[in-house]
Amino acid sequence: MKWYQKPAAILIALLVLIPALGMSSCNTSAALTSSVTTLKTTTMQTESTSESTLPIVTEIETIAPIETTSPETSATIMQTVSGGVLRVHYLDVGQADSEFIELPDGKTMLIDAGNKGDGSAVVSYIKNLGYSTIDYLVATHPHEDHIGGMATVINSFNIGQIYMPKVASTTQAFEGLLTTIQDKGYSIITAQAGVQIAPGINILSPGVGSDYGNELNDWSAVISIVYGSKTFLFMGDAGTDPESSFTIDADVVKISHHGSRTAYSASLYSKLSPTIAIIDVGAGNSYGLPDEEVIQGLIAVGATIYRTDTNGTIVVESDGSTVTIKSIESTTPVAPATTAAATTPKETTAATTLAPVLDTGTGEVYKTKTGSKYHSDGCSYLSKSRIPISLADAKAEGLTPCSKCNPPQ
């Protein structure tokens, strides 16, 4: 049944909005718009005992299947992305998801674009990396914390292919995304299992013919990127139902649904056995995320956990045989590259080339209908009205920074 065939309106006689409960804490969205410094740098030689026998290959024909635990896995491993360095940016967009990926062949990919108010910060981040094209754009599912900023992204870049699961939301945010795609003359490729975005980049879920009804999280496009011997998995907000349909051994996993127990299955994480787990989650969110049992479950399978609420934007790169992690925190000034305390030449190189120079003048902040202050996303003063505005415009209107949430200045 289509959404518009459902009862269109549900009457509530009296309903009081609870404005005091913000959707995320102060300082979350500020992360992308401020200066950066590298907080910590860790080179992780993930368990690659077979490293020497698994050269980074550039021709599909030369790749030997290494994991054959399931047909999907072997099919995935047969093709890998090729070229130089794979670099994944897990953007700190507060209580929302966005991952920007620099592929080894020079192409780019964006999975989700944060909340509506995060769009311009996501755009600034990518442009500051020097890109004007997003070759592969994926909206994992139509929830606003994943697609809210995507219309702004589409209006700001040359877009190659757009992938979305064929499921609707009735929100203006989703409608706005669709009309933006329409206005630009683009079309949408249905995201479903078996679709290959590019060699080595595959959609694992939702399964062909699967119907998750109103459970939009479960419609999430789940994507794997295989490079050499390393696999990155992006799970959107997929729950345990779709998760049970795919099996893959992954090295770096974007944990599903901001670390919610609704997406947690011990057997799945046992199968995935990630070395590195990334949780996109907003500091002080109202939903208790991430759930402690997810954290404990990840620790139990030996994963090292990184979180955008505590680590800020997280950058991970791989040369196909190793994985290197960086955490970029946004609230302190840019540190000279030489103070990144790199302990190996590799890290030094990465530190100087990875940290984008972020423009502090175009940040997205929020104002209220009547207040004289501007705020970071999630500030409790935004409970009654929350109007996105660029930092420059906020200043131009004479607004001053909130003393409570310390927005960018």
Q: How do 387-390 and 364-367 pair as beta strands?
A: antiparallel
Q: How do 252-254 and 276-279 pair as beta strands?
A: parallel
Closest to another protein by CB, 35 vs 383, is 383
Least distance in angstroms from the C-beta of 366 to another protein: 9
- The footprint of another protein (CB under 8 A) covers 3, 6-19, 21-23, 115-116, 143-145, 168-173, 176, 214-217, 260, 286-289, 383, 385-387
Least distance in angstroms from the C-beta of 138 to another protein: 18
Exposure class string for 316-350: b at 16+ Cβ within 10 A, else e = bbbbbbbbbbbbbbbeeeebebeebebeeeebbeb
What 3-state DSSP class applies to 351? Answer: helix
Least distance in angstroms from the C-beta of 174 to another protein: 9
Closest to another protein by CB, 52 vs 369, is 369
Residue 268 token pair: 């799945």
Closest to another protein by CB, 6 vs 166, is 6
Closest to another protein by CB, 144 vs 329, is 144
CA distances from 101 to 137, 231, 314, 332, 340 (A): 10, 13, 12, 24, 23
Least distance in angstroms from the C-beta of 18 to another protein: 6
Least distance in angstroms from the C-beta of 56 to another protein: 40
Adjacent-strand bridge partners of 40: 327
Q: Contact at 8 Å (CB) between 378 and 19?
A: no
Least distance in angstroms from the C-beta of 293 to another protein: 14
Residue 85 token pair: 């360095």
Closest to another protein by CB, 326 vs 367, is 367
Q: Contact at 8 Å (CB) between 62 and 77?
A: no
Adjacent-strand bridge partners of 326: 41, 315
What 3-state DSSP class applies to 4? Answer: helix
Q: Contact at 8 Å (CB) between 332 and 310?
A: no
Closest to another protein by CB, 156 vs 262, is 262
